[in-house]
Amino acid sequence: MHRIVLMGIMIVAASLALISCGGETPAETTVRKASPSPVPRAPVEETASEAEGTVVDRGTEVFITMQDPGGSGEYLYDPPDLNFSVGDKVTLVLESESEFHTFTVEDLGIDLAIAGGNVDEVTFTFDSSGTYQYICIPHQELGMVGTITVN
C-alpha cells in the first residue's frame, strides 16, 4: 500500500515539474530588414519618425551584410572597406545572415550585437580623419574584419 501511495506522489511531483518547466513562449522581437543590396544609397535629407512625429536626420544609409558559413559560405563583411569624409553623417544598416555577429569599432565606441537573420543600425557622424578597423568579435580570427577610412 505504501508503495502505491509513494509511486502516486512521485508521478504527481514529476508531472508538476514538467508542467512548470514548459509552456513559456519567447518574447517577440521587431526587426527591420535591410535592402538586399549592401551598397550606399543617396543621402537622406530628413525622414519623419512615425512614432514620435519628429524629424530625424539619418544621413547616408550604407548597407553591410555580415556573412557566415550558414549563409554565403565565409565569415566576412560585405563590403569590407568603407570610405567617408570628415563631417559625414552615416547610418550603417547591418544585416546578419544566419549566425550571431558583432559590429565593433573600438576606437569609435561602436559595439553592436546582431542575432542571426536580424538587422540593426547605428547612425554616426565622423568628426575626425583616420583609419578604423571594425571586427566581429567571435569571428575576427576567421577573417571577419573591415576598415573605415575617414578623409
First to last CA, the chain: 86
Is residue 80, in this structure, part of any structural domain at all?
Answer: yes
User: Distance between CA atoms of 93 and 58, rounded to whole angstroms?
Assistant: 11
- 121: three-class secondary structure by DSSP: strand
Is residue 38, in this structure, part of any structural domain at all?
Answer: no
Kindly report the pTM of this predicted structure.
0.65
Is residue 140, in this structure, part of any structural domain at all?
Answer: yes
User: Distance between CA atoms of 46 and 57, rounded to whole angstroms?
Assistant: 5
Using DSSP bridges, classify how beta strands 60-67 and 89-96 pair: parallel, antiparallel or unpaired: parallel
What does the block give as the cell for 124? 554616426
User: How many domains, the chain?
Assistant: 1
**Which residues, including other chains, have CB under 8 Å from residue 87's CB and lie 6 or more apart?**
125, 126, 127
Q: What is the pLDDT of residues 80-93, one digit of tens each?
A: 999 999 999 999 99
Query: The domain containing residue 112 runs over which residues?
Result: 60-150
For residue 17, is pLDDT > 90?
no
Please give the pLDDT value at position 72.
Answer: 86
Quick one: pLDDT band at residue 68, thresholds 50, 70, 90?
very high
Paired residues of 79 in beta bridges: none
Q: What mean pLDDT do residues 4-26 have?
A: 53
Q: What is the pLDDT of residues 34-63, one digit of tens each?
A: 434 344 444 444 444 455 666 678 899 999
Is residue 123, in this structure, part of any structural domain at all?
Answer: yes
What does the block give as the cell for 140? 575576427
For residue 75, is pLDDT > 90?
yes
User: Distance between CA atoms of 57 and 42, rounded to whole angstroms?
Assistant: 13
Q: What is the CATH number of the domain that holds 122?
A: 2.60.40.420
Report yes or no: 142 and 81 within 8 Å, Cβ to Cβ: no
Is residue 83, in this structure, part of any structural domain at all?
Answer: yes
Quick one: pLDDT band at residue 8, thresholds 50, 70, 90?
low
User: Distance between CA atoms of 89 and 127, rounded to whole angstroms?
Assistant: 9
Please give the pLDDT value at position 28.
Answer: 37
Please give the pLDDT value at position 32.
Answer: 39
Angle formed at CA 138 by CA 133 and CA 140, multiple of 5 degrees: 35
Q: Where are the alpha helices (DSSP H) in the chain?
A: 2-21
